Amino acid sequence: MPTPSPIAPAGQSLVTAREFRDVIGRFATGVTVITTANNGARFGSTASAVSSLTDDPPMLLVCLNRSSATAAAVRDSGTFAVNVLAEDHVDLATRFASRVPDKYDGVPTETASNGSPLLVGAIAHLICRVAEQVEAGTHYVFVAHVEEATSYPGHPLAYFRGRFGRMQTAPEASVLREVRAGVLDAGSDVEEVIDTARWAGELGVDANLIHRALVALADEGLIRREGGRYLITPVPDSIIDEVYKAKLAIELGVAESTVAHATSDQLARLRELMEDTLGFVQDGRFTDPEGWVQANERFHEYMVGLAGSAILLDTYRRLGLPGLNLRALDRGSYASRSLLDDHRELVEGYEAGDLARVAAVLRQHAQRPLEMRHQDHLLRGEPANAALTAQPTR
Ligand SMILES: Cc1cc2nc3c(=O)[nH]c(=O)nc-3n(C[C@H](O)[C@H](O)[C@H](O)COP(=O)(O)O)c2cc1C
């Protein structure tokens, strides 16, 4: 086995670990699972710190935490495989990033010539032999020869700023922008089955590109998939009410378990994200609805993430709030500054460790979308929502 050659300990840096994570998180990567077998047991770890090194001879490097069971097994076996995940492999990425006892349970695999497990459905497999291993701080860097490399059709899973996503070619991105704008322009009371062929004709692009855009928009919650069709569905008050009730239940639960325990670093980040949301309302309108929805999403998701449960955060994301909010904000909807006041008060409540105050703000905050809609109706001279008229929230 190659012996580790340590890298000298770090010198002085002006950059904190948190700042570094935040900045380096802008470097988008693909996602792999590094697999190996050792003494009859199989190991695997999700890894994004993978890089090609030279093409002649073909070599790559992989950085694995020294506490990782997979790293220990790779050190022992001297062999591993890199499995490049496909865009629908978020579940696999999450599973192999966890410490569940049998990560391979129910996961279809084959075995590589060097004995490493290969995940079926990956878009590439690289069979590797360790040439050198270097100890660098908390990690080992494994420099390896690539003995076999195979690719398969499919699109890669991407990782950017702590979130999974899909990579897009420039034409895909521009079609997605157009289709997205078309859906948002439809307004929130429209019901329409999307005619893929017609949209492809109007935009002068291949129907496949439209289809890929529709898949992405359905993931975002902007449209709905039903059978093989994609639909723009109306966003009635009842749906907003239902989704916001679920959001409130999650946020209240999170507050209960986190308000007394948030660290000073977490509070500082929460304040930063709250401040990012403040510039988006002026004269009763959102200055940039998309910007608002994104900043609002980052703030709320960070708060939910404080609970430290990936499953809970995933459940929260599945509510599809950004999509719902974007669809609901049509025709230059009315925007209330109370949204921003709530955010400020929430952070102050967290900073004071005051659960009752945080819970009260969360409750009033969950009412804002319907309050704003109600106000919107009044401003437009449309019939107001009777239920809301009957139930003032403050
Ligand atoms: C997207 C993503 C990328 C990751 N990249 C790496 C990486 O490059 N190196 C690493 O050591 N851990 C990485 N991790 C964390 C490991 O997957 C995680 O610590 C895992 O539990 C290790 O499993 P093991 O102890 O069974 O080897 C990553 C996690 C995620 C979600």
- Which amino acid, one-letter code, is at 117? P
**Cα dihedral 381→383→389→393 (10° resolution):** -70
Report the nearest-CA residue for atom 5 of ligand 1. Answer: 47
Backbone angles phi, psi at 355, to 5 degrees: -60, -40
The ligand 1 atom nearest the CA atom of 34: 27
Contact at 8 Å (CB) between 282 and 337? no
pLDDT at 13 over 90: no
Q: Of 91, 95, 82, nearest to 122 (Cα)?
A: 82
What number is the average pLDDT over the span 340-353? 97
The mean per-residue pLDDT over the stretch 242-259 comes to 97
Contact in structure between 191 and 234 (CB atoms under 8 Å): yes
Protein residue whose Cα sits closest to atom 20 of ligand 1: 97
Distance of alpha carbon 185 from alpha carbon 179, whole angstroms: 10
> Across residues 287-292, what is the average pLDDT?
89
d(CA 360, CA 26): 35
Q: Identify the pLDDT of residue 332.
A: 64
**pLDDT, position 230:** 96
Nearest CA to ligand 1 atom 17: 97
Q: How many CB atoms lie within 10 A of CB 90?
A: 16
* Strand 5-6 with 124-136, pairing: parallel
pLDDT confidence of residue 251:
98
Q: Evaluate if residue 67 carries a pLDDT over 80.
A: yes
* Secondary element (H or E) of residue 182: helix 170-185
Q: Which atom of ligand 1 is nearest to 72's Cα?
A: 27
Alpha-carbon distance of 202 to 223, in angstroms, equals 19
373 against 241, higher pLDDT: 241
Within 6 A (CB) of ligand 1 lie: 31, 43, 45-49, 63-65, 68-70, 93, 97-99, 159
**Ligand 1 center to residue 292 CA distance, Å?**
32
For 370, residues 6+ apart whose C-beta sits below 8 A from its C-beta are: 237, 240, 241, 244, 385, 388
Rg (CA), the chain: 24
Backbone torsions φ then ψ of 158, nearest 5 degrees: -115, 160
For residue 36, the CA-to-ligand 1 centroid distance in Å is 14
| Integer CA distances (angstroms), 331 to 186, 289, 327, in order | 10, 11, 10
Side chain identity at residue 344, one-letter code: R
Where is pLDDT greater, at 150 or 166? 150
Domains along the chain? Answer: 5-160 (2.30.110.10), 168-232 (1.10.10.10), 237-386 (1.20.120.530)
Q: What single letter denotes the amino acid at residue 85?
A: L
For the residues 203-220, what does the mean pLDDT come to?
Answer: 92
- Report how far residue 346's alpha carbon sits from residue 339's, in angstroms, rounded to the nearest whole number: 11
Q: Which of 54-68, 261-275, 367-381 has the least mean pLDDT?
A: 367-381
SS3 62: strand
* pLDDT of 239 above 70: yes
DSSP tag of 223: S
DSSP string, 26-63: TS-EE-EEEEEEETTEEEEEEE--EEEEEETTEEEEEE
**Span from the CA of 182 to the centroid of ligand 1 (angstroms):** 39
CB 68 within 8 A of CB 45: yes
At residue 220, the pLDDT reads 82
Asked whether the predicted pLDDT for residue 214 surpasses 60, the reply is yes
**What are the helix and strand counts (H, E) for the chain?**
14, 18
Residue 266 CB contacts under 8 Å (≥ 6 apart), including other chains: 306
How much distance in Å is there from the Cα of 46 to the middle of ligand 1? 5
75-89, 200-214, 329-343: segment of lowest average pLDDT = 329-343
Residue 348: predicted pLDDT? 98
Q: Which amino acid is at 146?
A: V
77 closest CA partner among 120, 44, 109, 54: 44
Task: Look at residue 189 and tell me whether its pLDDT is greater than 90.
Answer: no
pLDDT, residue 323, reads: 87
Of residues 168 and 55, the one with the higher pLDDT is 55
